[in-house]
Amino acid sequence: MNPNLQMYERKEDINTVHRPDFNPRRYNSIQDRVNSDPEFEKMYIDKLISEGWYKLLDNRSILSEEMKGRHFKYRLNGKSLSGAKKGTFRSGGIIIGRSNDDDDGKYIMYKAYNGRIFPLQISDILEIYTKDPSIKIQGSKKEQSVSKTVFFNRPGGITKFPVYLLSELSGERIPIYYARDKYSQERFAASKKYQYALKTGDWNFST
């Protein structure tokens, strides 16, 4: 166990654009609900399975090249310095891969849904869930015809002026745009497309 990978300061991004009704004191994430409500946990895990998520048979397979770019979630085994009990669920994020200085494959780097990059020690993981990118959720023609999903290009270089949307799947904030300045950030956030996505949650990244 490497304590240097776990004990680091985590600060809120002061440039984050929140929903008008967002209140951090009342906000209850999907992660918190899974860990506190057994009924919701079962419903949520069943939903993941129906959408093509599955549990890895070998946790170390997350280190493979083919896993890069995939979304993943995990449970802790109760051995981490955070003190989280065995089975604690974490929303995870997008797998970046092994660090260049990690010759032994002791940890994985991933980008959380709030845009921050974290190391995760393999020895702290109980189980890992990931989604098969080849599985698409199908719907009836009627359902598809009334869909108004809006799409955004994946953000490029990181700046000090991110714009976020909530992921319906994880409940976490995902950066969808990095503006060059405060004016551009506020202008993007005021656009009809963004406001629709913010209000309905019906959005996705362009493939």
Query: What average pLDDT is seen over the chain?
Result: 79
Q: What is the pLDDT of residue 175?
A: 92
The verdict on 61 and 124 lying in the same domain is yes
Has residue 41 been placed in a domain? no
> Mind listing the pLDDT tens digit for each residue in 114-155?
778 899 999 999 999 998 766 554 443 333 322 467 788 888
| Helices 192-200 and 182-189, packing angle to 10 deg | 60
Total of domains in the chain = 2
pLDDT at 161 over 80: yes
- Partners of 127 in the beta sheet? 75
**The two structure tokens encoding residue 33:** 């609900």
Higher pLDDT: 200 or 122? It is: 122
The pLDDT assigned to 145 comes to 28
Q: 183 is in which domain, residue-wise? A: 141-205
Task: Count the Cβ atoms, other than its own, within 10 Å of residue 166.
Answer: 21
Q: Flag whether 148 is in a domain.
A: yes
pLDDT given at position 89: 95
Distances (CA, A) of 23 to 26, 29, 162: 5, 12, 19
Q: How far is CA 111 from the centre of its chain?
A: 8
Beta-carbon contacts of 120 under 8 Å, excluding residues fewer than 6 positions away, are: 74, 107, 108, 109, 110
The partner residues of 131 in beta bridges, in order of sequence, read 53
Percent of the chain at pLDDT exceeding 70? 76
Q: Is 22 helix (H, G, I), strand (E, B) or coil?
A: coil
Distance CA 60, CA 48 (A): 21
Establish if 44 belongs to a structural domain: no
- For residue 195, the SS3 value is helix
Which pLDDT score, from 0 to 100, does residue 16 have?
Answer: 53
- Which of 85, 104, 131 marks a domain boundary? 131
Domain membership flag for residue 26 = no
pLDDT for 18 = 56
For residue 107, count other CB atoms closer than 10 A to its CB: 20
The token pair that represents 153 in the structure block: 């290009």
Q: Which amino acid would we find at residue 117?
A: I
Total-model pTM: 0.57
Instruction: Tell me which H or E stretch contains 177.
Output: strand 173-179
Task: Kindly indicate the confidence band of residue 23, based on its pLDDT and cuts at 50, 70 and 90.
Answer: low
Please report, for the domain that includes residue 123, its CATH number.
2.30.30
Match 């909530």 to its residue by tokens: 166
